[in-house]
Amino acid sequence: MMTDYGDLSTTELAKQINADYELILESERTTLQRYLAMGEKLIALRPRIAPKHGEWQAKLKLHCPQVSYETANLCIRFVENFGKLEAYSATKNVKVTDLGIDEARKALAKPKSNTDKTDKGKPASVLLKVALRNRVMNQHQERLRLMQRWKAWKLMRCSTRCVTCTRTGNTSCLS
- Whether 168 has a pLDDT exceeding 70, the answer reads no
Domain boundaries, the chain: 8-111, 124-175
Among candidates 71, 52, 51, which has minimal Cα distance to 61? 71
| Mean pLDDT within 73-95 | 91
Q: What is the pLDDT of residues 92-103, one digit of tens each?
A: 888 888 888 888
* 137: alpha, beta or left? (left if phi > 0; alpha if psi -120 to 50): alpha
Query: Within 10 A of 144 (CB to CB), how many other CB atoms are there?
Result: 10
φ, ψ for residue 163, nearest 5 deg:
-115, 130
Q: Are 154 and 173 in contact (CB under 8 A)?
A: yes
Q: Are 175 and 161 in contact (CB under 8 A)?
A: yes
The alpha carbon torsion through 21, 24, 27, 28 (nearest 10 deg) reads -110
- Whether 125 has a pLDDT exceeding 70, the answer reads yes
Distance of alpha carbon 140 from alpha carbon 135, whole angstroms: 9
Q: What is the pLDDT of residues 40-78, one digit of tens each?
A: 899 898 888 888 888 989 988 889 888 889 988 998 999
| Mean pLDDT within 19-27 | 73
**Which of the pair, 67 or 147, is modelled with greater confidence?**
67
Q: What is residue 84's predicted lDDT score, i.e. its pLDDT?
A: 92
Q: Work out the percent of the chain whose per-residue pLDDT is above 70.
A: 77
CB-based burial of residue 85 (10 Å sphere; 0-12 exposed, 13-18 middle, 19+ buried)?
buried
Q: What is residue 83's predicted lDDT score, i.e. its pLDDT?
A: 93
Q: What is residue 3's predicted lDDT score, i.e. its pLDDT?
A: 72
